[in-house]
Amino acid sequence: MKTIFITGASTGLGKASAILFQAKGWKVIATMRKPEEETELNLLENVILLPLDVTNIDQVRQTVQKAINLGDIDIVFNNAGYGLIGPVEANSEQQIRAQFETNFFGTVWVIKEFIPYFKNIKGGLFINTTSLCGLTSNPQSAIYNASKWAMQGLAESMSYDLAQFGIGIKNVAPGGIKTEFTKGMQVTEDRAYDATMAKMMEGFQDGTLMEFTEPDQIAEVVYRAATDGEDQLTYPAGNDAIRLYAKRLAQGPEAYRIDLTTYLNLKSPYKSVAV
């Protein structure tokens, strides 16, 4: 029986993935901050709940060791994360650091703890939940985007380092997901950006900028990444992620950015600069 270790399994994609892998006959080690409050996963056969706050390095070490002591682990799915919305100048230092502590550093700490184990068994696979916002960009989410772009760069670079030990690493990059993710977002507002935010909301509602997919459909992409045996780093997940990432690749990053700038009714600050 294959085993997957999942972070952030209490809601959304993490929970949907735990349910899917369990249904496929996998053993699931589902971690979350408050496993004592879980009322669904704890009822499933071959699902083990462990406490884990990925920002707590000591707890990361303890929980990873407990998981390893339970038996062989084949896949580590780094899914814990949340969103921070608002312009950079409106985000506090605490908010900015906390965003990276969870989304980026939390993933790093879990990976670091599992690498010696995977090296020892000469195998294993890391899968990380990144985001469409780690492949493209949106206004009003610079810090969130930065944390996800950092994860994309981390995985691409690590893929070279890990390959020599038979260890894989992949990123699943969802677009919009119909989960409680938005409830966990931290939003800092600045009225100076009201027009841009209104246009973004319009794009979210009509599907131009984002479409919202059921979490179980995104979990299917996680399962595909786990089982397809392909040497593939990035898996856009959801129609919006597939469409917009393809558009960015086709246009190139500069043309894509200018196209989005035009859509948002923003003027280029460079056209009026005299040389």
Domain map of the chain by residue range? 3-192+213-238
User: ∠ CA(170), CA(140), CA(8), 5° rounding?
Assistant: 40
pLDDT tens digits along 211-232: 788 999 999 999 999 999 999 9
On whether the CB atoms of residues 129 and 150 are closer than 8 A, the answer is: no
Confidence band (pLDDT; 50, 70, 90) for 154?
Answer: very high
Say which CATH class 3-192+213-238 falls into.
alpha beta
Q: What is the pLDDT of residue 275?
A: 55
- Residue 50, classed as helix, strand or coil, is strand
pTM: 0.91
User: Which of 6, 1, 7, 8 lies closest to 24, judged by CA?
Assistant: 1
